[in-house]
Structure 1
Amino acid sequence: MTAIDLTGVFPAMCTPFHDDADRSIDFETLREDAQRLEAAGVDGLVPVGSTGESATLTHDEHVEVVEAVVDSVDDVPVVAGTGSNNTREALSLSQRAADAGADALLLISPYYNRPEQRGLVDHFETIADEVDCPQIVYNVPSRTGQNIEPDTAVELASHPSILGYKAASGDMNQISEIIERTREADFSVLSGDDGMTLPMLSVGAHGCISVAANVEPERTCAMVGAALSEDYERARNLHHELGPLFRGLFVETNPIPVKEAMRIRGYGPAHVRQPLSRLSDEYLDDLESILAELENPDGEDAFAEVER
C-alpha cells in the first residue's frame, strides 16, 4: 500500500453537469476545476463524495469521475468517495476506484440502515481487508442517522489500511477525544465541517476535507497552514474572514449553495441532479454579497451583473 500524507486541505469537489435532460457530467469543466484547485495549492482532491452528488451517479459514472480527476492533476493525491450502506457495493466501488488510480478512499458510514457499532467495525474492516488502498472513515450523523462512537473510531485506527477519520459530527468533545486517543497512531483526523476546522486544528487535527475550499482554496490553505504552523493570530483572522462563506454554503443542503457559488465565480455550472434543486432566490443576494466581499474587500460587488 502506497503511503499518503493526509495533512492539509482537501476540497470536496463538485461534479459539474450539463444543462440537458439527463444532467450529463461536464468532464471538461471537471478537469479544469481539478487543475484550478491543484494550482491554488491544495494538498489533495476528494471527488465523488456527498458534495460530488455521488448518490445520483451510476457506478460507471462514479469511476469515470475518479479517472478524469486522476488524469487531470500532476502532484496531488486523489481521495475517492466510495462509501455505501451496502458493504458489498462499497467494496466494489472501492476496488474500482483504487484500480482507476485513486490514492486513497473516503468511506461514509452506512446510512439509513443504521448498523450498530459492531456492524460499523465489520463494515469498514471488510473493505480495508480487501482493498489495498489507504482509507478514511467518514462520520456525518446528520446524513447517516448513526454516530461512529469514539471507541469505534479508535478501534478502526488500529487497522493498517485505515489511516484517517473525517469528522462532521459537530461534537467537539467527541472529536477531541478521538484525536487524544489516536495521537500515537499513524492516523489523521480531518475536519468535515468548515466552521469547525480551526477549533479542531487547535486540539490536534491534521486538516480538512472542505466545501469552502472549492470557492476559496487559497484562503482555506492559508488558514490551515497558519494553524498547523501555530500562527493562531493569522489563522483566526482568516477563519473570521471566511466565516460568512462557511455559513452561506450551508443555508440549504450541500452542494446546492456551493454549486451556486461556483457559478457566480465562473468555476462551473450550478446544475444539480434531482431530487436536489437550485438555490432559493431568497439566499442568492446574500451569497453574491459574501463572495463579492471576499473578492473585493472594499465592498464593490463584482458579481452583481452575473446571470443566473
Structure 2
Amino acid sequence: MEKLVKGIIAAMVTSMNDDESLNLEEVKNQVNRQITAGVDGVFCLGTNGEAYILSEEEKLRVIETVVKTADGRVPVYVGTGMPGTADTIRLSKRAKELGADVLSVISPYFAAISQDEIYSHYAELASAVELPIVMYNMPARTGNNINPDTVARLSKVPNIVGIKDSGGNFDNMKQYIELTDSETFSVLSGNDALILWNLLAGGAGGITAVANIYPEVMVSIYRLFKAGDLEAAKQAQDSIRPIRNCFKFGNPNTVTKTAARIAGNPVGPCRRPFSFLSDAAIEKIKETVAADHSRGMR
C-alpha cells in the first residue's frame, strides 16, 4: 500500500474577517487554491491555523468546511493536539466524525514532560482513535522535544504513521529518519527551509507555511526531487529564502498571513494580540513579494 503521508502538505492559515471572526468562504477558496496548485494534502488547525486561539466550536466549523471543500481530492490533516490526553482524544474523535483523514498532534505543552509521558500520551491516543496520527514536534513553542528514541518507539504503534519536525535542528530530524522504517513511517519537515534536505536524507516531504504564499513553488520542490532534477529542486528551495527572512519581523503566523494578503489572498488578520507588524516590516514584505512575483513565484 502506498504511503498516505508524503509530499507537500499546506499548513493552512485560518481565514478571518477584519473583525477576527471566521471567514469560512475564504477558507474554502484557499483549500481550492492549494489543491489546484497540486498539494498532496491540506492541514488545518496547526500553528499557522491559529488553533491556539480558536474556540472548540470554531475548530469544528473549520474542520467541517475544509473536509467538505476538499471532498476527497486530497487527504485532510487536522490539528487536534491539546495539553491533556483526554482532551486530545475527545477532539480527535470529533475530527474523525467530521471526516478528517489524518490527525496532526502536537506534543503536550506548557508543563514540563518526560519522554515516558510523551510516549504514553501518543500511545493512548492511538489506541482510542482509529485514524493515522502524525506527531508534531515544535519545542520552541511547547518547551518539550520529542526525542529520537521516543519517536523510534512510537513508530512501532500501528496507526502512528509519521512526525512533523519544526524544531529546526536538522540532526534531530535526521535521527528520526535513521531510527524509523521509511516504508511505514514518514518524517516530514515543518521547517520550509529544510524540505529538500529532508527528502535527500530519506524523509517524506514537508508541511509548509510558505504554501499559503507560494503553493506552486512549494509543490515544485517535491515534484522536481521525485523527477530527479535536483538542481531545479534546489533552485526552488532556495527561492523561498527572501520571504522566510521576513519571519524575523514578528510572529511567523502574522508574517505568513500578511504576505499571503499582499500576494492577493484575502485571508484577513491574525487574532490579537498576535497581530502586530511595524510599517517598516510590512513595507519589506511588500517589496519581497513584489520581487518574488517578478521572478514568477506563485
Q: Distance in 2 between matches of 1:184 and 1:73?
A: 27
Correspondent of 1:69 among 66, 80, 84: 66
Residue 3 of structure 1 and its aligned partner are, at CA, apart by 8.1
Segment of structure 1 superposing worse, 270-279 or 7-16: 270-279
1:238-268 deviation digits (Å, cap 9, x = unpaired): 1121211222245321210011011112212
Question: Could you tell me which residue of structure 2 aligns to residue 85 of structure 1?
Answer: 83
In the TM superposition, residue 128 of structure 1 has moved relative to its aligned partner by 0.7
The separation in 1 between residues aligned to 2:267 and 2:234, in whole angstroms, is: 32
Correspondence 1:129-140 to 2 at 5 A = 129-140=127-138
Would you say 1:173 and 2:171 are equivalent positions? yes
Q: How many angstroms does 1:157 deviate by?
A: 0.5
State the AA in 2 paired with 1:290: T
Q: In the alignment, is residue 10 of structure 1 matched against residue 9 of structure 2?
A: yes
Unpaired runs of at least 5, structure 1: 299-308
Letter in 1 for 2:131: C
Where do 1:36-115 residues align within 5 Å? Answer: 36-74=33-71, 75-115=73-113
> What is the aligned partner in structure 1 of residue 200 from structure 2?
202
Find the aligned partners of 2:181 and 2:86 in 1 and give their Cα distance. Answer: 32
Percent of aligned pairs with the same residue? 34
* Contact 2:79–2:105 under 8 Å retained in 1: yes
Contact 1:103/1:134 (8 A) holds in 2 = yes
Distance in 2 separating the partners of 1:161 and 1:127: 10
Poorly superposed stretches of 4+, deviation over 3 Å = none
Deviations along 1:8-43, one digit per CA (max 9) or x if unpaired, are 1101111111122xx210011111110111111100
DSSP-derived class of the 2:87 partner = helix
What is the alpha-carbon distance in structure 1 between the residues aligned to residue 23 and residue 243 of structure 2?
25
Cα distance in 2 for partners of 1:186, 1:107 equals 18
Q: How does 1:21-40 map to 2 (within 5 A)?
A: 23-40=20-37
Kept in 1, the 8 Å contact 2:225–2:233? The answer is: yes
Map of 2:140 onto structure 1: 142
In the alignment, which residue of structure 1 is the partner of 2:262? 264
User: 1-side partners of 2:252 and 2:3: how far apart?
Assistant: 27
After superposition, what is the alpha-carbon deviation per residue over 1:53-92, rounded to whole angstroms, capped at 9, x for unaligned? 0011111111110110011123111000000111111111
**Post-superposition offset of 1:156:** 0.7
Please report how far the alpha carbon of residue 205 of structure 1 lies from its aligned counterpart in structure 2 after TM superposition. 1.0
Counterpart residue identity of residue 30, structure 1: V
Out of 294, 297, 301, the residue aligned to residue 295 of structure 2 is 297
Matches of 1:34 and 1:216, distance apart in 2:
14
Using structure 2 for the length normalisation, give the TM-score.
Answer: 0.95
- 3-state DSSP of counterpart to 1:45: strand
Equivalence for 1:220: 218
Q: Is the 8 A contact 1:191 1:197 kept in 2?
A: yes
Q: Distance in 1 between matches of 2:258 and 2:45?
A: 18
**Paired residue secondary structure (1:223):** helix
CA distance in 2, matches of 1:250, 1:71: 35
Query: What is the TM-score with the length of structure 1 in the denominator?
Result: 0.92
CA RMSD in angstroms, aligned pairs only: 1.7
In structure 2, the CA distance between the partners of 1:4 and 1:61, relative to structure 1 (3 Å rule), is farther
Q: Indicate if the aligned counterparts of 1:29 and 1:268 stay in contact, CA closer than 8 A.
A: yes
CA distance in 2 between counterparts of 1:287 and 1:229 reads 32
Instruction: Provide closer, same or farther for how the CA distance between residues 201 and 109 of structure 1 changes in structure 2, counting only shifts above 3 A.
Output: same
SS at match of 1:69: helix
Distance 2:267 2:144 in 1: 33
Shift of 1:270: 3.3
**SS of the counterpart of 1:153?**
helix
* 3-state SS in 2 of match to 1:80: strand
Residue among 149, 159, 165 paired with 1:151: 149
Equivalent position SS for 2:42: coil
Distance (whole Å) between structure 1 residues aligned to residue 257 and residue 276 of structure 2: 9
Specify the code of the residue in structure 2 equivalent to 1:221. V
3-state SS of paired residue (2:187): strand
Give 1:226-305 correspondences, 5 Å limit. Answer: 226-297=224-295
Distance 1:184 1:16 in 2: 34
Q: State the Cα distance separating 1:272 from its structure 2 match.
A: 1.5
Distance 1:57 1:250 in 2: 24
Asked if structure 2 preserves the Cα contact closer than 8 Å seen for 1:13 and 1:47, the reply is: yes
